[in-house]
Amino acid sequence: MMYKLPKQNILRKNKQFQSVYRYGKSYANRMMVIYVLSNKDTQRKVGFAAGKRLGNAVVRNRVKRLLRETYRLNQHKLKLGFDLLLVGRKPMVDVKYKVVSKAFGDLCTKASILDE
């Protein structure tokens, strides 16, 4: 089964990011922070972020790639109707995909956004 990440389901505008940051509920562990904000939509939008303190552009892009891939492969397990923001943290810089994927699963359970 191929899972794609449709372009229209990605948060791009600063305003969108800010509203999820401001009004969303955050769940965090060592690897990442997830902001969840419910929307009145049947879609789920997602944004990916890696702050400057993680390292140079190469490092930050790797973190965002990991987040993107984790989301892409697990999106079918999530409920619809909310916006997500995935933010990488320092320990994520030197781990493999499996660790990130597990951290993501744990946070989704914590946020109770998994579709049973």
Please give the average pLDDT of every successive group of 10 residues along the chain, which has 116 residues: 85 95 96 94 93 96 96 93 96 96 96 88
What pLDDT is stored for residue 41 in this prediction?
84
86: enclosing H helix or E strand: strand 82-88
For the chain, the distance separating the N- and C-terminal CA atoms, rounded to the nearest angstrom, is 19
Could you please state the CATH topology (level 3) that the domain comprising 11-110 is classified under.
Ribosomal Protein S5; domain 2 (3.30.230)
DSSP one-letter code for 11: -
Q: What is the pLDDT of residue 9?
A: 92
Predicted pLDDT at 86: 97
What's the confidence (pLDDT) of residue 1?
66
Torsion of CA 93, 47, 102, 78, to 10 degrees: 180
Ranges of each domain in the chain: 11-110
pLDDT value at residue 42: 85
Q: Enter the tokens of residue 74.
A: 């697990």
pLDDT at 48: 97
